Amino acid sequence: MSKNITLRFEDSEYTLEFTRKTVHDMESVGFNVDDIDTKPETCITKLYEGAFLAHHRTVNKDIIWRMYESIPKKQEFISALYEMYCTTLNTLFDEPEENEGNATWGVNP
């Protein structure tokens, strides 16, 4: 199962998720996930709003942004949204097999 985020705010529960259709819709109005480095604020805004399209297309933007203000650990939250967004593409291709002469990597402490 792919990941999704459940937000609880003012006695309501919201499921944030990306489907290929919502990603397609976001790109059709100019969203480009590659802008996350060059235009982070704009990109994050659209990424967050886009996460509501799959299940909560009609939710008021005022509520969406009041919710955002109250979300703790925003950086982790945005990273999770970014990963969910990229999953729509990554799941279409196989991961390279291990030990096929590919590069290796590891996180340094």
Partner 1 sequence: MGSEPVKGTPPEKEKTFAEIFEDVCPYYMSIGMSYDDFWNGDPEMAKYYRKAEKIRMKRENRNLWLQGLYIYHAVGDLAPILRFRTRGSVKAEPYLSEPFAIDEEEQKEREEKSRAESLLRMRDMLSELSRKKKVGDSGGRTDSK
Q: Which is closer to partner 1, CB of 55 or CB of 63?
A: 55
Contact 47, 85 (CB under 8 A): yes
User: Smallest gap, in angstroms, from Cβ of residue 72 to partner 1?
Assistant: 26
* Rounded Cα gap, residues 54 and 21, in angstroms: 8
**Beta-ladder partners of 15:** 6
Sequence-ordered list of residues with C-beta below 8 angstroms from that of 85, at least 6 positions apart, any chain: 18, 23, 33, 47, 50
Q: Output 54 or 63, the one with its CB closest to partner 1.
A: 54
* Choice between 93 and 105, CB closer to partner 1: 93
Minimum distance, C-beta of residue 41 to partner 1, in the bound complex (Å): 21
The 8-class DSSP code of residue 99 comes to T
**Which positions lie near partner 1, rule CB under 8 A?**
1-2, 18-21, 23-24, 27-28, 32-33, 54, 87-89, 91-92, 94
* Nearer to partner 1 among residue 19 and residue 74 (C-beta): 19
